[in-house]
Amino acid sequence: MAPKSPELYNLKTTAIYFAAASILLLLGLVGMVLQDSIRDWKGYQREFIDYSREKTQKEIETARAKIDQNKLKQLHTEFETAQIQIKAHQQEIKQLEKEVTRLELECKKTRTAYQDLKQVQDSDRYFFEDDREHHKQHEAAQYEARLKLQEPKLTDLKLKVEQAEASRDETQAQLDKFLAAQKNADAEMAKLTLDVTRFEKKFESLKPNFFKSLLDAPMLDFLKPSLRIQQVVLENLEDDFYFVRAKKVDRCITCHLGIDQKGLEGAPVPFKSHPRLDLFVSADSPHPVETFGCTVCHGGSGHSANFVTTAHTPHDEKQKKEWEKKYAWKEMEHAPEKMISLKHAEASCAKCHNGVVDVPQAPKLNEGRRLAETFGCFNCHKVAGVERWKVGPSLLNVQSKLEQDWIVRWLKNPKEFRPSTKMPRVFHLSNTSDEASVEKSAVAIAGIATYLIKNSGSVSLLSPPVKGDPEKGKKQMEALGCLGCHTANGKAANNHGPELSNLGSKVTPDWLYTWLKDPKHYSPSTRMPSLRLSNEEASNITRYLLTQRDQNFESSRLPHIKAENVDDLALTFLSGEMRRADARKQLDQMNQEQRLEYIGKKSISHQGCFSCHAIKGFETTKPIGTELTEEGSKDVRKLDFGFVHLEHDRASWFFQKLKEPRIFDEGKDKTYHDKLRMPQFDMTDEQAQSLTTFLLSLQKAHIPQEMHKNLNLKEAQVEEGRLLVRKLNCQGCHTVDGVEGRIRSITEDLGKAPPVINGEGKKVQPQWLFQFLHEPAAIRPWLNVRMPTFDFSDTELTTLVDYFQNLDHVPPSYNTSHAKPPAEMMAAGHELFQKFQCIKCHKAEPQPGLSASFLAPNLLMAKSRLRPEWVVEWLKDPQILQEGTMMPTFFAEKQSPLPDVLGGDYVKQSEALRDYLWEFTPEEARIIEQPAPSKAAAKTVT
Amino acid sequence: MKNTLKWLACLSLNLMLSLPLFAGTVTGKVNFTGTAPEPEAISMDADPVCAGAHEEPQMTEEVVVNPDNTLKNVFVYVKTGLEGQTFPAPTTPVVMDQKGCHYNPHVFGVQVGQPVQIVNSDSTLHNVHGMPTKSKEFNLGMPIQGMKLNKKFDAPEIGAKFKCDVHPWMNAYAGVTDHPFYSVTGDSGTYEIKDLPPGKYTLEAWQEKYGAKTQEITVTDAAQTADFTFAG
């Protein structure tokens, strides 16, 4: 027996191993291919195809229902009749068709012969000209002869071509006659069923078939799949991958398949059309998807094509739960750009729309920005590019206005005295409500009051010269227009200025009287304008406002100050400046008053009071809040969530911070000095939401300049004006720039409301406007509301005049005079002026005892105030320029009631009236205003 | 027998079809209880033409109570029950005259699309400031005595106001309907709405100060009465 040859391996076992391994590998491969091929988005695309098919099916049915069946039937009959006719003449038609073919051939033949000869002729002509030029007389003569011979032949051929074409056309026409009826019916039918055919074609293209499935099959889907990733590549925008920047790619449309289509408003998500196709996505909108993509506004990871990894953000808790269930959604904690929740989507507008007071069509963002101005956010928090002004009153002369005790009571909780105040509560909040903190805060408050009074200048005060009548004061206050800015007497149109309540518990008659007479005397930086009140008016209003008192507030107990707390607080502040031993020494050298003053100064600095109020000693101190210029793109990890259970995203944190600024101290062990300091504004949820949107809009965005909404010079001037108009609350009284004057909502007789000044730029002369804003004077003497004097600087005046002119797109005009009109126009103007009885309402001298609406501006002012071209437009039809005006049109249906003047031409008559007004004098007014003794008047006398 | 049945069916069908041809008339009175606000004298001194037109003091017309305690100038009309029917607008205009610095009539009815002819019989300037809320506002100057202008309303509206800005005491109200079934009470406080097809209707009486009152009525071919009462 031969010895068994040694074997390195067992062939059988090896084969088994191999088989097993290859099966495993194959399975692995199949798994990989499947994993690669099964994608969420393919499911959406299939679903969308099904959805579109169903929709198309419905559309086919609707289109079918719309077809006029009777007409269709009739056309069918026509078609069939025509067909029978054709059959009857089959023989002739065949003959004619043959003939047409023959003639067509004939045409071609003759045309070719003609063209051939023409080419020969062209060539001969070239040689003839060339030879002649080179003085080859003989050759030239030969060519000339040939040309002469060709000419008649060519003419003959041309004629033949025309003849052939004519007979072909004729035969064709004969043929057409037979076929016309059928063709016509066919075309009509096609027209009638056009929609159906279109939808049917679409339906056909959406039908699944074997080839499509094959091309979408794994391994083959690289060829030409019907399901594929859809994307836009944005030339001008970039994605930041930390170390690399690449062109932005948005694949959102892979699943959001109907986003750019009209008519899918009711489709299920994600196939719904964009709700604002007029503004976004569609090609004819200002933000087409090809240029702007999706993620530049919505955020999220545009190159992903999976619900979770694109970093969708739910807009509330309910949606979050729903998503978790439906899509296995989880937060992409480390995604740099999560999608912005839809409720804050407007925040993205500010990436490109800068330098405007309001971003068009972004009400929430605009409201947020307005609130930030109103609450004075910009006073503590720097935001680059935002103009800021101190929103609180100046305290430089506060001792002339307030008692020290009042300040203490006020600081405890401003809302206790005046619930509508915009001054936030600084002390005794959630993180400083423990007993120790309350005691310390009481000392800080006393200190601040001491410091403010001790470091205040004083102004001379006037006393009301008469006692004043409170009843009259109340009426005058409302009539003069104070409610345009202030809430008072329970009437609120505006929260621009402070509510005028309980002033009797706050200020003295002398201070209030002096303030009312000239606000800038007490505070040169105040935004309150002067209403040029008479002594009597100011006395009446002072008396009235001081009748309202808050007894509870006045008698509330002042907090008890413990000496040890004073020392403790002073020492803590001193130790921040020097060594503890020196601090102790320093403290010993101070008396109680000095200690309080020192604590006051330090507390003002610590709490940032000087950010909103002008306070002596803090002229150059930097504001205390965090800079917010790029807050909207701040790393979430840099926001201190403390122990508060919140979604870890910016929006939630901002909202919480705004609603309850000190909440993040909860559960923390901090000293009194280290506690959070942002004060409590008591915002409503809505306000906090708007402000959150605004905060999210403060982003560091890499958007190239050409993608920004760049303002031209005029637009920039308008924006500058808008800011000033907002700062001074012009729209509190006036309707202008698309905003209704707020006081109108509480004005009973709109004839007595401040004038609507839409179109002011077109209406008045710029010089006049400049002068009027500088020194306002009554234009409408029957109005009780009074245009205040704002003491504008020349720059501000120019800004406002430019604003009005640019709003109306009128070029600056230096033309005040109007060329002297011809005598004919003057005479016509005079006649029209008298016959239209203009003076009846436009009196040169106002008459007492008449209703407000009885009067109109004095026309003597017209030539220096109005633009001549505006006057004509106004006269033609005042309602067009100002809807609801009391000025009637005298040319109903463009017809003049006086057909004899200037041929009855209403435009010419308007011009004549304007011309007359430019020559109108006080003497003329007096003559016309003399009441002519009328018959009727004579009757009453007798 | 069969024929008789057919004949009967025919007859009843005819009857049903021709029934709306019989139409009812609704009449009634608008009573007033309580005390009306004292009419105020109007001072027309501002315009001598107006003042000279009257020898007696002129009173406001907001509430005019007739001697028999009925109310004048109440607009009574069919508010609901005519839906789906259209009534062509008459081409003859409703005339509103400005005479002696008053609008005459003070309250009137007009159908949508029917012209309102506004006349100025005074030798002074009037402006007719129509302030409807459902149709376009207009404001026409009428400086020439005897001048006439036509205006139409585009939509139904009860109490469309007219005023004169030159003479603030002047005002008038139009009841604009899309059918001809309306009436205005006069010196006797009665109204009459004719030719109303049988059916169920809501009738409304509208007064400029006291607002509207409604009543359900069923019209057959017999005459109907429906009275209203306003309280001061």
**Three-state SS across A68-100?**
CHHHHHHHHHHHHHHHHHHHHCHHHHHHHHHHH
What is the predicted pLDDT for the residue at A443? 95
Chain B residue with Cα closest to A885: B139
> Measured between CB atoms, which of A849, A883, A889 is closest to B141?
A889
pLDDT band at A437 (very low <50, low <70, confident <90, very high): very high
Same domain, A410 and A490: yes
Task: Please state the φ and ψ torsions of residue A240, each to the nearest 5 degrees.
Answer: -105, 115
Closest CA to A874 of A906, A851, A899, A843: A906
B17 pLDDT exceeds 50?
no
Could you tell me the two tokens for B21?
Answer: 């041809």
A470 in the same domain as A323? no
Residue B15 falls inside a structural domain: no
Residue A743 has pLDDT above 50, yes or no: yes
pLDDT computed for residue A935 by the predictor? 42
At residue A871, does pLDDT exceed 70? yes
CA–CA separation, A709 vs B227, rounded Å?
Answer: 67
Q: Do the Cβ atoms of B129 and A886 come within 8 Å?
A: yes
Mean pLDDT of A837-853: 67
Number of domains making up chain B: 1
Residues A71, A72, A78, A81, CA torsion sign: negative
Mean pLDDT of A392-419: 95
Distance from CA of B46 to the nearest CA of A (A): 7
Closest CA to A400 of A356, A459, A445, A349: A459
Residues A407 and A555 reside in one and the same domain: yes
- Closest Cα in chain A to B44: A850
- ipTM over the 0.90 cut-off: no
Dihedral (C-alpha) B64, B69, B74, B78: value to the nearest 10 degrees? 180
Q: Would you list which residues of chain B are within 8 Å, Cβ to Cβ, of chain A?
A: 43, 45-49, 51-53, 55, 123-125, 127-129, 137-144, 147, 149, 165-166, 168
Same domain, A429 and A562: yes
Q: How far is CA A102 from CA A86, A115, A167, A171, in A?
A: 21, 20, 11, 11
Question: With an 8 Å Cβ cutoff, are A840 and B48 in contact?
Answer: no
State the DSSP code for A425: B
Residues A595 and A674 in one domain: no
Q: What is the CATH number of the domain that holds B94?
A: 2.60.40.420
Q: Cis before residue A846, ω within 30 degrees of 0?
A: no
Query: For residues A610 and A457, is the Cβ–Cβ distance under 8 A?
Result: no
Q: Is residue B163 part of a domain?
A: yes
SS3 category, A61: helix
Q: Tell me the per-residue pLDDT of A246-304, one tens digit each, with 9 for 90 and over.
A: 899 999 999 999 999 998 999 998 999 999 999 999 999 999 999 999 999 999 989 88
Integer Cα distance of A241 and A482 in angstroms: 56
Nearest chain A alpha carbon to B139: A888
pLDDT for the residue numbered A227: 87
* B97 inside domain: yes
In a domain, A622, yes or no: no
Q: Do residues A515 and A460 touch, judged by C-beta distance below 8 A?
A: no
What is d(CA A143, CA A151) in angstroms, rounded to the nearest whole number?
Answer: 12
Last residue of a domain, one of A700, A725, A748: A700
Report the percent of chain A where pLDDT is more than 90: 66
Pair (A435, A561) in one structural domain: yes
Residue A119 and residue B220: Cα distance in Å, rounded?
97
**Contact with chain B for residue A930, Cβ under 8 A:** no
Which residue, among A901, A920, A734, has the nearest Cα to A825 in the 3D structure?
A: A901
Out of B129, B139, B143, the one facing A835 most closely (by C-beta) is B143
B-chain residue closest to A899, CA distance: B144
Count of residues in chain B = 232
- In chain A, residues with a C-beta closer than 8 Å to the C-beta of B45 are 849
In this structure, the number of other CB atoms found within 10 A of the CB of residue A678 comes to 21
Domain ranges, residue A800: 713-807
For an interface test with A, the pick among B140, B161, B169 (most A C-beta atoms closer than 10 Å) comes out as B140
pLDDT value of residue A933: 47
Report whether pLDDT(A927) > 90.
Answer: no
Task: Quickly list DSSP for A750-794.
Answer: GGGSPPP-TTHHHHB-HHHHHHHHHS---SSTT--S-PPB----H
- Distance set, CA A472 to CA A475, A476, A538, A851 (Å): 5, 6, 11, 20
Average of pLDDT values for A162-188? 90
- Whether B155 is in a domain gets the answer yes
At residue A391's C-alpha, the angle toward residues A389 and A396, to 5°, is 90
The pLDDT value recorded for residue A4 is 67
> Which of A700, A733, A760 is a domain's end point?
A700
CB contact under 8 A, A897 and B142: yes
What pLDDT was estimated at residue A478? 92
Going from the C-alpha of A50 to that of each of A61, A205, A259, B172, the distances in angstroms are 17, 12, 17, 63
Pairing status of strand B171-177 against strand B107-111: parallel
Instruction: Answer yes or no: do A424 and A524 share one domain.
Output: yes
Using a CB-CB cut-off of 8 Å, the residues of chain A touching B171 are none
The whole-number pLDDT of residue B205 equals 95
pLDDT digits 0-9 by tens, A876-905: 999 888 877 889 999 988 999 999 999 999
Contact between chains at B140 and A888 (C-beta distance less than 8 A): yes
Question: In this structure, what CATH number is given to the domain that contains residue A788?
Answer: 1.10.760
B81 phi-psi bin (left φ>0, alpha ψ -120 to 50, beta other)? left
In a domain, B172, yes or no: yes
- pLDDT, average across residues B151-160: 94
Q: What gap in Å lies between CA A875 and CA A909, rounded to an integer?
A: 9
CATH number at residue A508: 1.10.760.10
Report CB contact under 8 Å: A936, B143: no
Cα–Cα dist B162/B226, whole Å: 29
pLDDT for the residue numbered A26: 96
Reply yes or no on whether the pLDDT at A832 is more than 90: yes
d(C-alpha A678, C-alpha A658), whole Å: 9
Class of residue A371 by CB neighbours under 10 A (exposed 0-12, middle 13-18, buried 19+): buried
- In a domain, residue A39? The reply is no
Q: Do A840 and B43 touch (CB under 8 A)?
A: no
Give Cβ neighbours of residue A913 (< 8 Å, ≥ 6 apart). A829, A832, A833, A836, A838, A871, A875
> Does B16 fall in a domain?
no
CA-CA distance, A347 to A352, in Å (whole number)? 11
* A414 within a domain of the structure (yes/no): yes
> Taking 80 as the threshold, does the pLDDT of residue B16 lie above it?
no
Question: Cβ of B46 and A841 within 8 Å?
Answer: no
Residue labelled with tokens 């031209």: A712
- Contact between B52 and A898 using a beta-carbon 8 Å cutoff: no
Q: Which of A892, A936, A940 sits opposite B140 (nearest CB)?
A: A892
Q: Considering the domain boundaries, does residue A11 fall inside one?
A: no
Q: What is the pLDDT of residue A934?
A: 44
Nearest-CB residue to B143 (from A850, A897, A937) = A897
Whether the pLDDT of residue A814 is over 80: the answer is no
A325, A284: one domain:
yes
Q: What is the 3-state secondary structure (H, E, C) of A630-688?
A: CHHHCCHHHCCCCCCCCCCCHHHHHHHHHHCCCHHHCCCCCCHHHCCCCCECCCCHHHH
In a domain, B55, yes or no: yes
pLDDT digits (tens, 9 = 90+) for A591-624: 999 999 999 999 999 999 999 999 999 999 999 9
Q: Is A941's pLDDT higher than 50?
A: no
Same domain, A886 and A917: yes
Residues B158-164, mean pLDDT to the nearest whole number: 93
Is pLDDT of B23 > 80? no
Q: Residue A301: CB partners within 8 Å, gap ≥ 6? A: A295, A309, A310, A311, A332, A335, A337
Whether A785 and A664 map to the same domain: the answer is no
Do the chains contact at A850 and B46, CB–CB below 8 Å?
yes
What is the average pLDDT across B93-111?
94
Whether the per-residue pLDDT at B26 is higher than 60: the answer is: yes
CB contact A209 to B (< 8 Å)? no
Predicted confidence band at A818 (pLDDT cuts at 50, 70, 90)?
Answer: low
CB contact under 8 A, B52 and A937: yes
- The pLDDT of residue A206: 87
Choose the weakest-confidence range: A405-409, A463-467, B58-62.
Answer: B58-62
Same domain as A591, residue A467: yes
Q: How far is CA A589 from CA A567, A586, A593, A598, A600, in A?
A: 12, 5, 12, 12, 17
What would the mean pLDDT of A27-32 be, rounded to a whole number? 93
CA dist A478 and A936 (Å) reads 41
For every residue of B142-184, DSSP letters joined together read: E-STT-EEEE--SS-EEEEEEE-SSSTT-EEEEEEESSS-EEE
Q: Is the pLDDT of residue A97 over 60?
A: yes
Lowest mean per-residue pLDDT among A217-226, A362-371, A373-382, A643-652: A217-226
Higher-scoring residue by pLDDT: B168, A474: A474
Chain A residues in contact with B52 by the CB 8 A cut-off are: 934-940
Quick one: pLDDT at residue B7? 58
Question: What is the residue range of B119's domain?
Answer: 24-231
Identify whether A731 is part of a domain: yes
Judgement on whether residues A676 and A752 belong to the same structural domain of the protein: no
Mean pLDDT calculated for residue range B207-229: 90
Q: Do A413 and A425 meet the contact criterion of CB atoms below 8 Å apart?
A: yes
Average the pLDDT over B41-52 and give the result: 84
Residues of A (830-859) whose Cβ lies below 8 Å from B: 835-837, 840-841, 847, 849-851, 853-854
- Residues A504/A487, Cβ–Cβ less than 8 Å: no
Q: Is residue A350 in a domain?
A: no
- CA–CA dist A645, A540 (Å, integer): 56
- Whether residues B166 and A935 touch (CB distance < 8 A) is answered with no
What does the pLDDT look like over A514-566, one tens digit per residue? 999 999 999 999 999 999 999 999 999 999 999 999 999 999 999 989 999 99
Asked if the model's pLDDT at residue B160 lies above 50, the reply is yes
Contact yes or no for A885 and B137 at CB 8 A? no
Sign of CA dihedral A324, A328, A332, A333: positive
Min Cα separation B69/chain A (Å) = 32
CB proximity list for A78: less than 8 A, separation 6 or greater: A181, A184, A185
Q: How many CB atoms lie within 10 A of CB A320?
A: 15
A928 contact B CB<8A: no
| pLDDT over threshold 70, residue A488 | yes
pLDDT value for A942: 33
Contact between chains at B149 and A892 (C-beta distance less than 8 A): yes
CB–CB contact A897 B138 (8 Å): no
List the beta bridge partners of residue A303: none
What is the structure's pLDDT at A163? 93
Query: For position B20, what pLDDT does the model report?
Result: 46
* A584 pLDDT more than 50: yes
The answer to whether residue A227 is domain-embedded is no
Q: What is the rounded distance in angstroms from the CA atom of residue A724 to the CA atom of residue A731?
A: 11
pLDDT band with cut points at 50, 70 and 90 for residue A817: low
Give which of A614, A615, A699, A627 is closest to A378, Cα–Cα.
A627
| Any domain includes A214 | no
Q: Could you say which of B138, B140, B141 has the minimum Cβ distance to residue A836? A: B141
Mean pLDDT, residues A825-833: 92
Least confident among A43-52, A656-665, A845-854, B192-201: A845-854
**Site of tokens 């409807």:** B132
Within a domain: B6: no
Q: Give the Cα separation of A379 and A377 in Å (integer).
A: 5
C-alpha distance from A884 to closest chain B C-alpha (Å): 7
Q: How many domains does chain A fold into? A: 6
Q: A344: closest CA among A651, A635, A631?
A: A651
- Contact yes or no for A853 and B53 at CB 8 A: no
The last residue of one of the domains, among A306, A339, A372, is: A339
Label residue A646 by pLDDT band (50, 70, 90). confident
Query: How close are the terminal C-alpha atoms of chain A, in Å?
Result: 167
Q: What is the mean pLDDT of chain A?
A: 90
